[in-house]
Amino acid sequence: DRWESEDKVSSLQVEHMKQRSKFLESRLEATEDLVEALKKDLKSSRKAMIQLLHKNVYLCSKIEKLNRKRDMMDKQAQQQRRSRYVLLKWSIYFSLVFFIFGVQDLYIVTIMFIWLSLESYTTDSGDDEQEIDILQKLAKGESS
Distance of CA 124 to the CA centre of its chain: 29
Largest CA distance in the chain: 144
What pLDDT is attached to residue 47?
Answer: 96
Q: What is the dihedral of CA 13, 14, 20, 26, to 10 degrees?
A: -170
Measured distance CA(132)–CA(50) in Å, rounded: 33
What pLDDT is attached to residue 136?
Answer: 67
| 8 Å CB contact between 132 and 73 | yes
What pLDDT is attached to residue 81?
Answer: 86
What pLDDT is attached to residue 144?
Answer: 42
Between 61 and 133, residue with greater pLDDT: 61
Confidence grade of residue 125 (pLDDT, cut at 50, 70, 90): low
What pLDDT is attached to residue 129?
Answer: 64
What pLDDT is attached to residue 39?
Answer: 96
- Give tens-digit pLDDT for 62-115: 999 999 999 999 999 899 889 988 988 999 999 999 999 988 899 999 989 888
Other C-beta atoms closer than 10 Å to the C-beta of 112 total 11
- Give tens-digit pLDDT for 29-68: 999 999 999 999 999 999 999 999 999 999 999 999 999 9
Task: Please state, in angstroms and as integers, the Cα–Cα distance from residue 73 to each residue in 30, 94, 127, following that order.
Answer: 62, 31, 12
Handedness of CA 9, 11, 12, 14 (dihedral sign): positive
Q: What's phi and psi for 50, nearest 5 deg?
A: -65, -45
Measured distance CA(99)–CA(106) in Å, rounded: 8
